[in-house]
């Protein structure tokens, strides 16, 4: 029970990395607020945790809206009495996956930055405020991407993740004197989540299998990355086992970046 008694917030908890992480946090003893812009999927994850004996509740929240993020964190504190872990996991793809730089509109650019960077900024800012108010340490985890470590294409999405990585490191340095840690996981392409569908990709069983083969072939370890892989790293990074790890950008990429 790595997270026994901890109060955690996970954003994007209705799907993919967020859903897998919320479940793993709960399985390790955390009480989990499952936040998502889609209330039904947030409720589904929370219900699945409660049905297996865990403690969770759903909150509808658009992380690009500061008032929503404040409300979300307040809901966690009201319910759990404190806040220990904030996992800013939400990220959206470019609306038309594969779009070149010049095909991005101003509103594409603004939405990508508002959600991917703005959402994490609000989450980090208000987590730090709450941790300092409690006069306790606290842990922030953000979901970055390999796309913010190397240029894979997807210029605007990659730029949001690069910015998020730098935000993570800066929060780690500012938070360190207060015992606040901040890290990011940086996954490589995950074919089995809803992320690529959100980018307009046609995710049939056949295309998912093709993308899985393609991504696996690019990783030295030779298999596609899954949401569960990310959740396992997330549990470790938010736990006290990682007490000396802060400011780290951890690739979950089968060795791709190392190559
Ligand atoms: N899937 C990939 O290939 C991949 C690769 C690298 C990094 N990532 C990153 O991993 C993270 C999780 O992605 P995933 O693959 O689990 O995606 P996903 O699409 O399966 O899940 C994302 C969840 O976030 C929610 N969401 C979207 N916008 C929101 C908003 N404004 N406010 C609150 N919730 C919102 C969605 O409803 C969804 O439930 C993202 O940060 C993404 O950028 C994904």
In tens, the pLDDT along 101-131 reads 999 999 999 999 999 999 999 999 999 999 9
pTM exceeding the 0.75 threshold for the entire prediction? yes
pLDDT tens digits for 212-222?
A: 999 999 999 99
Q: Is 10 in the pocket of ligand 1 (CB under 6 A)?
A: no
Quick check: CB of 118 below 6 Å from ligand 1? no
DSSP tally for the chain: helices H, then strands E: 9, 7
For ligand 1, is residue 21 a contact (CB within 6 Å)? no
Residue 82 CB contacts under 8 Å (≥ 6 apart), including other chains? 7, 134, 136
CATH number belonging to the domain at 7-252, selected among 3.40.640.10, 3.40.50.620, 2.170.150.70, 3.40.50.720: 3.40.50.720
Residue 161 alpha carbon, nearest atom of ligand 1: 43
181: left (phi over 0), alpha (psi -120 to 50) or beta: beta
Distance between CA 44 and CA 20 in Å, rounded? 12
Residues forming the active site: 157
What ranges do the domains of the chain cover?
Answer: 7-252
pLDDT band at 259 (very low <50, low <70, confident <90, very high): confident
| 19 Cα: distance to centroid of ligand 1 (angstroms) | 10
Mutate to test the pocket of ligand 1, among 9, 14, 16 (most ligand atoms within 8 A of CB): 16
pLDDT band of 95, cuts 50, 70, 90? confident
Q: What percent of the chain has pLDDT over 90?
A: 93
**Which atom of ligand 1 is the closest one to the Cα of 197?**
19
Ligand 1 neighbourhood includes 91 CB (under 6 angstroms)? yes
| 92 DSSP assignment | -
Give the residue among 182, 214, 175, 185 at the shortest CA–CA distance from 91. 185
Q: What is the pLDDT of residue 66?
A: 98
């Amino acid at each position: 029970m790595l997270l026994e008694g901890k109060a955690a917030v996970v954003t994007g908890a209705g799907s993919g990395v967020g859903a897998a992480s919320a479940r793993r946090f709960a399985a390790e003893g955390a009480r989990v607020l499952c936040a998502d812009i889609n209330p039904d999927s947030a409720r589904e994850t929370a219900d699945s945790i409660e049905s297996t004996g865990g403690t969770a509740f759903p909150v509808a929240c658009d992380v690009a809206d500061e008032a929503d993020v404040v409300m979300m964190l307040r809901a966690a504190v009201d319910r759990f009495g404190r806040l220990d872990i904030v996992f800013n996991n939400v990220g959206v793809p470019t609306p038309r996956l594969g779009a070149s730089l010049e095909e991005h509109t101003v509103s594409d650019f603004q939405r990508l930055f508002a959600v991917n960077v703005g959402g994490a900024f609000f989450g980090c800012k208000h987590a730090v405020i709450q941790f300092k108010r409690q006069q306790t340490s606290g842990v922030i985890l953000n979901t970055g991407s390999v796309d913010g470590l190397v240029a894979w294409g997807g210029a605007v999405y990659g730029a949001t993740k690069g910015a998020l990585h730098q935000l993570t490191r800066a929060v780690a340095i500012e938070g360190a004197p207060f015992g606040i840690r901040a890290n990011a996981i940086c996954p490589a392409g995950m074919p089995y989540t809803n992320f690529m569908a959100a980018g307009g990709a046609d995710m049939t069983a056949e295309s998912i299998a093709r993308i899985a083969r393609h991504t696996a072939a690019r990783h030295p370890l030779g298999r596609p990355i899954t949401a569960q892989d990310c959740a396992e790293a997330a549990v470790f990074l938010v736990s006290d086992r990682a007490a000396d790890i802060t400011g780290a950008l951890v690739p979950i990429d089968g060795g791709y970046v190392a190559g």
